[in-house]
Amino acid sequence: MNYRRQHTSSPAITVHYCQLWSAHLDALERHLSAKTWALAGVTVALIAYPIAQIVIPAIRHGIVPHGTLPDVVRVMLNLS
């Protein structure tokens, strides 16, 4: 219990952190051009898309037992 109490943040610390983060983002918005933001967005999309193409099917195959998904699809489409 004592360990948890040491690492629990107070509302004042949370508010201060949010204000600090907001000020940091405001500074970025003021000093970066639209072209830079667009380049950053395209970069994030180019990195995230292949990762999502690999990770999402791996998670789905890990959660759904092998062979269950085609059976469910057949039942839903009345192809049995």
Determine the Cα angle at 68 with ends 63 and 69, to 5°.
Answer: 80
Per the structure, the complete domain to which residue 34 belongs is given by 2-76
Yes or no: say if 80 and 74 are a contact pair by the CB < 8 Å rule: yes
Q: Which of 3-7, 43-47, 70-74 holds the top average pLDDT?
A: 43-47
Domains identified in the chain, total number: 1
Model confidence, pTM: 0.46
* Positive or negative: CA dihedral 72, 74, 78, 80: negative
13-63 pLDDT, tens digit per residue, is 888 888 888 888 788 778 888 898 899 999 999 999 999 999 888 887 777
Q: What is the 3-state secondary structure (H, E, C) of 9-41?
A: CCHHHHHHHHHHHHHHHHHHHHHCCHHHHHHHH
